[in-house]
Structure 1
Amino acid sequence: MGKIAFVFPGQGAQAVGMGKDAYDGNAASRDVFDRADSALGFSISKLSFEGPEEELRQTANTQPALLATSIALLEAYKSQGVKPDFVAGHSLGEYSALVAAGVLGFEDAIRLVRARGQFMEQAVPSGQGAMAAVLGAERDALAALCADVTANVGTVELANVNCPGQIVVSGSTAGVAEIGNRGKEAGAKRVIPLEVSGPFHSSLMKPAADRLASELAKVVFNDAAVPVVANVNARPVTSGEELRKLLALQVVSPVQWEDTIKWLISEGVDTFVEIGSGTVLSGLIKKTDKSVQAIPVNTAAAAAGAVTQ
């Protein structure tokens, strides 16, 4: 019998209406959204279920909305009795993974991601930072190109190493634009600018990381009940104190998602259960290794009837 990993999506997976069927049909899911509204002091559930989309897309709203949706679906899925051997989350999704592993209390997590979103939005003045998806490039060649562009034009760094052939870069507007011009040098077939409110997972996010670190210091971090495979180093961590440090570092570091999935597969994971809005991670996992199973739990019906073995 292979091992199971629960994985949780991050920003970009949001959609108006997410979590509503779970809220309507499952008491434990409803409780999660009610607790989220209470902890935040406004109705993140109404924003998730009804929009408007422009408001839901604001980073400071997107992050708590996605966390609440993932944990609401996790609560619904618990009726299946499936226990993960590992958990991991993509960027913001790491907070959902930490709640799932018992490291963070839900209310603490939702307040942290609200603050994290605000700090990330405020870290770099509007228009001065950008991100782009680079398709088809080789990782080392793209890293070398980023270093050259950073030295000569403006900061640009690897931000999300998602799967073979899909890497997101982040940095100054000029630096990211230059990767668009020169991407072919690293083997890129296409460079697609992303609609984001800042250069996430780059060194330009240091002001956000510093402010987040002081918020993280106020919150209790328990040791993990199951290993959390961290974005920063794609390695399993159970120490609450180490996970606290990694969350601050995560804001200015690349998300090592491809390496996370490869490490989990090397440890015998053959079933990935993606819990939250959309199917983004299932797609990335299949692009990394077609032989594993990726099961999206993105509706109440999926949570009630997801096949696991």
Structure 2
Amino acid sequence: MSNTVFIFPGQGSQKVGMGKDFYDNSALAKEMIETASERVGFDFKHLLFEENENLEQTQYTQPAILLVSLIAHRLFTEHSTVAPIALLGHSLGEFSALSATGAMDYLDAVELVYRRGLLMKQACEGINAGMMALLGLDDESVEAITCKERESGKKVWAANYNGDGQIVIAGNKDDLASLESVFKDSGAKKAVLLAMSVASHCPLLISAQAPLETYLDQWMKDAFVAPIISNVTASAYQAKTEAKHLLSEQLVSPVKYKQSILHVEDSVDMFIEFGGSVLKGLNKRITQKPTHSIVDMKSLEEVLALF
């Protein structure tokens, strides 16, 4: 049996129609979507399957992605005995991993990330928060530039290490926009503001930490069937006390996705991504190990056939 790591996508992987094939062809998926709708008080069928503005709002984006990821995971585990050697996710995806490893009921996880999104939105109200994608600069250059600019009063931080030459920064939107030419003069091929109204994984979210820890303490169990690789440290944890601290720190710390993949690369034969294919694309830039994505019933069957 091959050594497998389960991975879960974060914000940016959402799109209208995600999970529809699961809903149409699986009684389990239909039940999970309908039960989750009852839990949080809004209709996931409308959110996921019909054109709407809510899917791009973080308090709705987060539970939508998590729910589809956990449906893909449940359908896979219903037909496979493959046990991962570890799990990891990109930002929000770490909460999907937490549920998939048994540390949180999926309905509790849906409500938790809905509330996490609200906390993030509230933390960023009135501060003109935003994020910017950078292509073509190495980590050290981005860190040096953002550090220098913070010393001059600008609010800008490295937020996501997605791969070599692919970093997202977060902070005040005007400050980010003012640095576009600085990054390009330093060798960036692109410096593009993202359509986001929150500044994830930077100190602007500090007010969300304490209430998030309260929710984690309320809903999380100390029952991990496999370790999770932390976004904050790129190292494994497998206990509630560690999870509470690390997932709180994740709000204000950069996502070390590239480092997390490299941490497990030598011990893994393949990665399986549940509910999206964005991480499959990122992994092509990081590792030679294959990544297989489960996004519908056809891809589910294809991945099951590998074992």
**Sequence identity (%):** 34
Distance 1:301 1:126, change over 3 A: farther
- Aligned letter for 1:125? E
- Aligned letter for 2:294? V
Name 1:123's counterpart in structure 2.
Answer: 123
1:186 Cα offset (Å): 4.3
- Aligned letter for 2:107? E
Q: Which moved more, 1:220-229 or 1:185-194?
A: 185-194
1:14 Cα offset (Å): 0.4
State the alpha-carbon separation in 1 of the partners of residues 258 and 24 from structure 2. Answer: 35
Q: How does 1:179-194 map to 2 (within 5 A)?
A: 179-184=179-184, 186-194=186-194
Name 1:288's counterpart in structure 2.
Answer: 286
1:304 Cα offset (Å): 2.5
1:308 Cα offset (Å): 3.3
1:187 Cα offset (Å): 3.1
What whole-Å deviation, never above 9, does each CA across 1:60-96 have from its counterpart, x for those lacking one? 1111111110111111112133221111010001111
SS at match of 2:219: coil
Q: How does 1:17-96 map to 2 (within 5 A)?
A: 17-52=17-52, 54-78=53-77, 79-96=79-96
Name 1:299's counterpart in structure 2.
Answer: 296
What whole-Å deviation, never above 9, does each CA across 1:229-286 have from its counterpart, x for those lacking one? 11111111111221121111111110000000001103x1120111013x11001011
Q: Which moved more, 1:218-227 or 1:58-67?
A: 218-227
Gaps of at least 5 residues in structure 1 are none
Name 1:168's counterpart in structure 2.
Answer: 168
1:2 Cα offset (Å): 4.3
Q: How does 1:271-286 map to 2 (within 5 A)?
A: 271-277=270-276, 279-286=277-284
- Aligned letter for 1:104? M
State the alpha-carbon separation in 2 of the partners of residues 51 and 72 from structure 1. Answer: 21
Normalization by structure 2: what TM-score?
A: 0.95
- Aligned letter for 2:269? D
What do you get for the CA RMSD once the two structures are aligned? Answer: 1.6
State the alpha-carbon separation in 2 of the partners of residues 263 and 165 from structure 1. Answer: 18
1:38 Cα offset (Å): 1.9
- Aligned letter for 1:107? L
Q: Is the 8 A contact 2:184 2:191 kept in 1?
A: no
Distance 1:221 1:262, change over 3 A: same
Q: Is the 8 A contact 1:44 1:64 kept in 2?
A: no
Gaps of at least 5 residues in structure 2 are none
- Aligned letter for 1:304? E
Name 1:213's counterpart in structure 2.
Answer: 213
State the alpha-carbon separation in 2 of the partners of residues 177 and 51 from structure 1. Answer: 30
Q: Which moved more, 1:175-184 or 1:54-63?
A: 175-184
Moved >4 Å (runs of 4+)? none
Q: Is the 8 A contact 2:10 2:90 kept in 1?
A: yes
Distance 1:103 1:186, change over 3 A: farther
- Aligned letter for 2:292? I
SS at match of 2:168: strand
Q: Which moved more, 1:218-227 or 1:85-94?
A: 218-227
State the alpha-carbon separation in 1 of the partners of residues 37 and 67 from structure 2. Answer: 9
1:126 Cα offset (Å): 4.8
- Number of residue pairs the alignment of both structures matches: 305
